[in-house]
Structure 1
């Protein structure tokens, strides 16, 4: 059978990749595109490997498919033209090897394929002894390419060199590669039988290099998000199984060629300097001797030049027996050019939905559907496809990391044609949006306006608003950035760091960026990778705790630790404590108290616990001024995110790392300081200018998240106790004129019913019953899914009524916890970790920790709720050793969160329930702590500013209304709080 394969993709565990890179989204998009075989990507990542094992079943020898229940769900969400197509998966991973060979550092990427999960497990076990497989789905190993190939062969797989011409990370790349495949893999080179040509080259270019004749020239998308599947792909004419595909690559029998980008669209096709705006064809580069005429530095040599350098045949040569190829432009990009909006815009997405429903998969539309059939839907699209099939496109080549642009219409041509007919009944856009350059994608998330992205050759800071730019441009010294909610805090900080290392001569290795969570650190790394890809690996991006690990790795010997010390997880902590005392309860007390005997036992096993990761580095630096001087010289530029959340130990650590006149940038918002219960002290933020005399202060006041009504209301609420003098927040996006809604319910159950009812109304109905019952009469707010809704509450107890109401309404939801690992008591922390680990021994292990069944069940009960599972089913499954079927976190569901858990998130629609005195603010018996009430007000402010379009506040008759609501000057009162009174019965007389 003839089929299309895309065997180079990435999962959500790879950096700078979409969270939608999961098996279900990949399957959905593969069917939409017309792709039958997809690589899994990232099978070396522990979490992704487990996910593959849980969700894939063998379909044919060496290939897998989604398990039946997930596959049926995707079928139901696809039109009949797409639902029936089978999609198979092959175990794949991209691996980066960086090593010295001869007098050069080599950086080569490889694609590795395995026939089954057991082979992949053996491969992973081998690589785990070499490098860290858990930090990125695309692991980086200090391993020679030849040795990686040897391990691959020993585990039963095969290897394909990835995007072989890419300048920086490829076997034939101009910067760090080799001049021949054989040079890289030496004695094992005969085991290489295919090479991936990459986006910036096509087979015709590769045919000029005779040493490549012995290899099948494959193409894949290297997709970082599911919609990018199939932008390049390989065509086979074999049986659909692993061994037939491998045989076709080895022998050429059944290898039917490839589907290609136009190579000019690749971001390394020609030579140049993006920073200088210089782009050159190979002849121009030669004339300039490879030197940029603007800055005098060497140009980035692109693929076209590199191919010419290694070519021993003229352009147009074709080896005997070489498989053909077809060059395509993705269908969304063609429709985008015609419509004049981004390829991810609602207009384009809607039209692609219609086209694929009517005509079949996208690749079939581009190659096989008769143009007359396409013309029925759009004459312009039919003309575009006709030109594409003839190769008649306008090419604007990419260079030095900047993608090229391929269009099918000449500049101005669409305007002339629109005078005769329009595409898809849409109004013609302004001429500037359809000429030459493909429009930028719509902002993500939809309807949130962000500053415009930078164009080629412009400053990294050009896309920032004036306030963000003012903050990013500060030359040096202490800097305090007060960043209100939705003002682009992370964007400003990452642009500042990127500009320092790319434009102002600051060595990337001298930059340290500190965040509070791993998620924030990963987001910062992803953004920096896009802004400064050549420097991001040298910037130290760490949480406070991972920074502590780094310091202890280097100097932990002073505490008796080796450079490879371990961090004890909760279970290991308890085991260590039990080596000191025999009683389980007393052991847990030792752990929670940080008892000296327990700490000594930890050290004896070369271990530290979570708390040690801050306290030990702090004591180390406080006792060693020379060490302080060394770290200050190492990291001359320090940036700290969420500075309002630092606690006393973190504050002291920062004061040691950054001198009073040093280059410390602190960013945050004291009006979002809500973690006093964790030890955070907003006072450190407020005294920044005392600690760092001469510090510059910049405020970010432009909110790009929320509607005018939400911003105005939030500002009114925070005003009475704002910690920012002259607090200002200006809405910069238009989400419509929906006012804040305030609802007064008669009870918690009625309040929860209001939430469920309103969600259905805003959605425009989630079931036929919603219309039949009269609960929904309109089509709601367009463009929302369940995951666009969040219900926030002050205490977890409030979620019970919500869970019941949403369950009764049939609305899918998930409860999400805000607890950080370090904040959980020992037993609860262990139970949480074990419960979410799954498997047959969970209950047994929790019972051993808890001491008895009753305590174990009480610990697991809220965790079962977080999983979305019925508790009786949950603990019965655990007791029987059956793995519990928890909810998939990627599914589209309403979020139930505490207000603390909502920090850092945003949703189009937000409900805050329990706006009552005693809950908001939460009042403890006998306490009149004014600061505690002020923090509760800040917590309410945080919750309000999570909303983008709609904000609903509700309270019940059980308590007085929250005093915070009194500050609202404009809102819409919703519903009737008073329950209907029953009429008294009437005694009828028979006389």
Structure 2
């Protein structure tokens, strides 16, 4: 049976779409148009899925139909002659993939298809772990198109992906601005799973035939409808049974007896057909663009290259030559637009809509009228002029004004002199706003010139350094890529060494090259080397660098660890192998249950006291407690009760990992001697962040003459509130009088003005050792400074700037003028941006703004991952599987006891990931995003449950940042330490917030200044400082002055910015500077030239 399918539409959950895009209205318009299969649209959106489940019921295999009550409710809104048209829905939705590949930002829209609601739910669960799928029906995901295809195929082999509108400049597979040059380049090894391509409104099959690499693919056409009335402005034709699998099999096989071709927009009507500049009124064909070298004569900037030009670039066939076995196609003009032309009013006007309904009521669905009915029948109901217009459309005798740069083209069937005289009436429309039509182009915004950015690299290393390999050169060549100071540090192995390394000075490369040099040039055994960092992420980076330098097998023999992980190793070896680490949420729960009840402030105070006591290496019985806490004589009693509770459940807290390790080594000399003999070469990163316990640990390990190398920067000492004391850094040369000091001054990260501004800020701190950083990059870009009226406006400004710098995230961004034209040629992707703030509470307004925009983001430095309810419950269950006697974990996990007992019996046979899956299933948590993330973290743990739980307890806020996720990073200034980004926004640069004056506590303004300095020096190419006149924080309205830290930057380095909205577009004359043009209208072609390919006769009124 012959079917019309429109497989790519949207729902009302998509941005800039009609509120009427729901199942009832789509059914009404599908019947009016004569469409039998509708791609249900926006399947990635949970709200739309819920609506579909409410309104649809299963029909034929893989298809759904409106429920009977829906059919009854809408019957009277359908013209009588259209009511019996069958309508089926197929589950489909568009995904916006924005990511980096091959050093270029790619923006590709893809349509995915699923056979049932269960698969859609699993797709949503997977995609929600990657990005925000709730703010836009067409979600923006920072993931590769190839990876999207892989995900849906793994979830269900019957899922499919078809690249959408493949020629559109900004959001398409072959688009000139952000696409690829071939299907294979985009989908790599998964290319065989791509069997169809959507041509889009601005191209038709003959244009696609010119590129022979597209020959294997079926070409489909869809409306991409943003309102129900736009259904079937393009569609695909089949002769198949109603079946999901049969439809896709017809496309995959390219069987001409089942896949019958397409219905096509006249491509000139598409808004990206020709080249040009909408704001300047320039519209050119490709040859004219080339003659002008692509430069607009009005503004002097590059014109937007359209689809026809892009096709010409990739074409390897002459125009007019069809591909082998080319499918037929039919060009159409929607009936309301022909009526609009005849009556001289807009297609959305009441007059046109009334006549449209009258004609459909007598003649049946629109597609049958346009293509199937005899012209005399049309003339009898609609008049001779309508019949003549439809006849001209069928013959391809049209007059076209091509679309360009987001401006829809205009297609007419009658010359201007035959049109109604009241041309102003063409703009008549109903009061209700509608999506853009042929007569309603979206307005442009003002633009600003900017320089193209440098392609970013978000590592701590110096830019441009290639990895070193010992297989390629002798050990001395390891030093070839170091500057003189770095080389001096790497060669200093005969004495203790302290390296002062400013931000971006290549400290990780220096440290790892020194270690590699010890192994390769001096035959130091890798087992004798201990490298200590403060975060798991830093340890992992160090390991990866060493693997590149000395190979994986040698690097695996080096101990690379955080301080606390090293403590775990020592305690398991020399004290007790079976203890469990108590994470912070459970620690607070334990204290609450012991004696402090609901008094949160008292609990937090006691927990701070515990940390202070253990960092000072004091036991509950130590008399030093009375000096540390003179106003709390009962603290030792509570401390002892807390320690007894830990011992009862075989627990150690985070502070114990250093505290007990130091006590062990001080009290058991034999264990200390064992470690001293093992580790003869010790390197320590971020030495300025040491606390007393960590300092004492290092002094113990090096007391027998081990070589110690430390690296750090006192100007980045920002953890005093956690007990860190950068004075240990300063006394290094007192502790080791023969030590050598090396200063790394060359900054390989930040543009010169950013670095200069940061140094002006930090120079105001007294009592610091002054040394000047030298910028390797001489970029003189100024720092942007913006004052917002409120914190919400501040957040919106950040979102708008990111959208502008990335070149727009949607057609709406570009066509509405929200994004300025000159920002489109960029190499930024979402992962290149960081938004930093002093307090977690500031993130709320930012998250709301990002959620509304649909821009993907990730947050760090907020509620610990292990404190989230689902994660906390599952971790408690895993702890019980390890130790069923733990009373503390039993309080946290009171459900599914049989599952826990079964897991306990299967310890060592199940992977940790499998255990999490079973617990989640028993608790009904399978769809949780946090559970999915926990499973990903468990993938490398294998069956080592104890190690996995220890690793989770040792996670820091920075460790949860995933640089592979192409999302904007929202994080506290503390969490940003050790990271770098091409573009950084620091919000809340206000007195009382940065520096932060906490109520009831003394503020260390010098440390706050160091914190601001750390934030500034995360930026590579662009730094934006923001402050608000009014801010709501902790339920209070704040009116703060701009931070005096900002005032310490000289004005010459700053540029004040203002928020600019889209301007109302003035009507501009279209300069059609084509050699063959006479005015702004031209008969572009007569489709009779393609008669062999459009001769197919279909009955669009056939009943199923």
TM-score, normalization by structure 1: 0.51
Q: How far does residue 193 in structure 1 lie from its aligned partner after superposition? A: 1.2
Candidates 268, 271, 276, aligned match of 2:275: 271
CA shift digits 1:322-362 (9 cap, x unpaired): 11111111111221222222211211221111111121112
Are the counterparts in 1 of residues 163 and 173 from structure 2 also a CA contact under 8 Å? yes
| Larger deviation, residues 16-25 vs 2-11 | 16-25
Are the counterparts in 2 of residues 74 and 83 from structure 1 also a CA contact under 8 Å? no
Q: Partner of 1:395: helix, strand, or coil?
A: strand
Aligned position for 2:394: 389
Are the counterparts in 2 of residues 272 and 399 from structure 1 also a CA contact under 8 Å? yes
Counterpart mapping for 1:374-773 below 5 A:
374-375=378-379, 376-415=381-420, 430-433=422-425, 439=427, 441-445=429-433, 508=804, 545-547=844-846, 557=861, 561-562=863-864, 621=994, 623=996, 624=1008, 649-652=1036-1039
Aligned position for 2:27: 27
CA shift digits 1:596-649 (9 cap, x unpaired): xxxxxxx99999xxxxx99x99875450567779999989698999x9999973
Are the counterparts in 2 of residues 197 and 217 from structure 1 also a CA contact under 8 Å? yes
The structure-2 alpha-carbon separation of the partners of 1:60 and 1:534, relative to structure 1 and needing over 3 Å to count, comes to farther
Q: Partner of 2:271: helix, strand, or coil?
A: coil
Are the counterparts in 2 of residues 35 and 230 from structure 1 also a CA contact under 8 Å? yes
Are the counterparts in 2 of residues 65 and 88 from structure 1 also a CA contact under 8 Å? yes
Are the counterparts in 2 of residues 24 and 74 from structure 1 also a CA contact under 8 Å? yes
Aligned position for 1:68: 68
Candidates 255, 258, 262, aligned match of 2:262: 258
Q: Partner of 2:354: helix, strand, or coil?
A: helix
Aligned position for 1:130: 130
Residue 365, structure 1, aligned to residue 373, structure 2:
no
Q: How far does residue 69 in structure 1 lie from its aligned partner after superposition? A: 0.9
CA shift digits 1:788-836 (9 cap, x unpaired): xxxxxxxxxxxxxxxxxxxxxxxxxxxxxxxxxxxxxxxxxxxxxxxxx
CA distance in 1, matches of 2:787, 2:807: 14
Candidates 299, 318, 337, aligned match of 2:322: 318
CA shift digits 1:532-568 (9 cap, x unpaired): 58979999999983326899x99964x7x45x69888
Are the counterparts in 2 of residues 81 and 360 from structure 1 also a CA contact under 8 Å? yes
Residue 282, structure 1, aligned to residue 286, structure 2:
yes
CA distance in 2, matches of 1:381, 1:541: 58
Are the counterparts in 1 of residues 200 and 222 from structure 2 also a CA contact under 8 Å? yes
Q: Partner of 1:17: helix, strand, or coil?
A: coil
CA shift digits 1:697-727 (9 cap, x unpaired): 99xxxxxxxxxxxxxxxxxxxxxxxxxxxxx
The structure-2 alpha-carbon separation of the partners of 1:256 and 1:274, relative to structure 1 and needing over 3 Å to count, comes to same
- In structure 2, list runs of 5 or more residues that go unmatched: 449-783, 837-841, 851-856, 877-887, 892-952, 958-970, 975-986, 997-1007, 1050-1055, 1061-1104
Aligned position for 2:359: 355
Aligned position for 2:101: 101
Aligned position for 1:345: 349
Q: How far does residue 205 in structure 1 lie from its aligned partner after superposition? A: 0.8
The structure-2 alpha-carbon separation of the partners of 1:526 and 1:20, relative to structure 1 and needing over 3 Å to count, comes to farther
CA shift digits 1:646-703 (9 cap, x unpaired): 99735447977999999xxxxxxxxxxxxxxxxxxxxxxxxxxxxxxx99999xxxxx
Aligned position for 1:302: 306
CA distance in 2, matches of 1:72, 1:263: 38
CA distance in 1, matches of 2:859, 2:424: 59
Counterpart mapping for 1:769-848 below 5 A:
none
Q: How far does residue 107 in structure 1 lie from its aligned partner after superposition? A: 1.9
The structure-2 alpha-carbon separation of the partners of 1:62 and 1:341, relative to structure 1 and needing over 3 Å to count, comes to same
Aligned position for 2:217: 215
CA distance in 1, matches of 2:55, 2:207: 40
The structure-2 alpha-carbon separation of the partners of 1:337 and 1:660, relative to structure 1 and needing over 3 Å to count, comes to farther
- In structure 1, list runs of 5 or more residues that go unmatched: 417-429, 447-451, 462-474, 482-489, 513-520, 583-602, 608-612, 663-693, 699-991
Aligned position for 1:671: none
Are the counterparts in 1 of residues 9 and 224 from structure 2 also a CA contact under 8 Å? yes
CA distance in 2, matches of 1:119, 1:695: 47
Structure of higher RCO (CA pairs closer than 8 Å, 6+ residues apart) = 2
Are the counterparts in 1 of residues 98 and 142 from structure 2 also a CA contact under 8 Å? yes
Q: Partner of 2:47: helix, strand, or coil?
A: helix
Candidates 218, 224, 246, aligned match of 1:244: 246
Aligned position for 2:677: none
CA shift digits 1:518-541 (9 cap, x unpaired): xxx999989967675897999999
Are the counterparts in 2 of residues 271 and 285 from structure 1 also a CA contact under 8 Å? yes
CA distance in 1, matches of 2:848, 2:1011: 16
CA distance in 1, matches of 2:954, 2:1031: 37
The structure-2 alpha-carbon separation of the partners of 1:358 and 1:35, relative to structure 1 and needing over 3 Å to count, comes to same
Q: Partner of 1:201: helix, strand, or coil?
A: coil
Q: How far does residue 303 in structure 1 lie from its aligned partner after superposition? A: 0.8
Residue 170, structure 1, aligned to residue 189, structure 2:
no
Residue 198, structure 1, aligned to residue 203, structure 2:
no
CA distance in 2, matches of 1:402, 1:527: 8
Are the counterparts in 2 of residues 265 and 398 from structure 1 also a CA contact under 8 Å? yes
How many residues end up aligned between the 2 structures? 584
Are the counterparts in 2 of residues 41 and 91 from structure 1 also a CA contact under 8 Å? yes
Are the counterparts in 1 of residues 787 and 1027 from structure 2 also a CA contact under 8 Å? no
Aligned position for 1:887: none
Q: Partner of 2:41: helix, strand, or coil?
A: coil
Q: How far does residue 297 in structure 1 lie from its aligned partner after superposition? A: 3.0
The structure-2 alpha-carbon separation of the partners of 1:356 and 1:284, relative to structure 1 and needing over 3 Å to count, comes to same
CA distance in 2, matches of 1:653, 1:548: 22
Q: Partner of 1:97: helix, strand, or coil?
A: strand
CA distance in 1, matches of 2:113, 2:407: 30
CA distance in 2, matches of 1:78, 1:199: 27
The structure-2 alpha-carbon separation of the partners of 1:226 and 1:241, relative to structure 1 and needing over 3 Å to count, comes to same
CA distance in 1, matches of 2:789, 2:106: 41
CA distance in 2, matches of 1:86, 1:78: 13
CA distance in 1, matches of 2:1012, 2:806: 15
Q: How far does residue 202 in structure 1 lie from its aligned partner after superposition? A: 0.2
Q: Partner of 1:412: helix, strand, or coil?
A: helix
Residue 224, structure 1, aligned to residue 226, structure 2:
yes
Are the counterparts in 2 of residues 511 and 638 from structure 1 also a CA contact under 8 Å? no
CA distance in 1, matches of 2:425, 2:1048: 48
CA distance in 2, matches of 1:526, 1:302: 14
CA distance in 2, matches of 1:535, 1:178: 20
Are the counterparts in 2 of residues 510 and 636 from structure 1 also a CA contact under 8 Å? no
CA shift digits 1:412-447 (9 cap, x unpaired): 21248xxxxxxxxxxxxx24545xxxx47544359x
The structure-2 alpha-carbon separation of the partners of 1:116 and 1:182, relative to structure 1 and needing over 3 Å to count, comes to same
Question: What RMSD, in angstroms, separates the aligned Cα atoms of the two structures?
Answer: 5.3
CA distance in 2, matches of 1:357, 1:67: 24
CA distance in 2, matches of 1:104, 1:455: 28
Are the counterparts in 2 of residues 638 and 658 from structure 1 also a CA contact under 8 Å? no
Are the counterparts in 1 of residues 346 and 425 from structure 2 also a CA contact under 8 Å? no
CA distance in 2, matches of 1:658, 1:5: 61
CA distance in 2, matches of 1:84, 1:695: 60
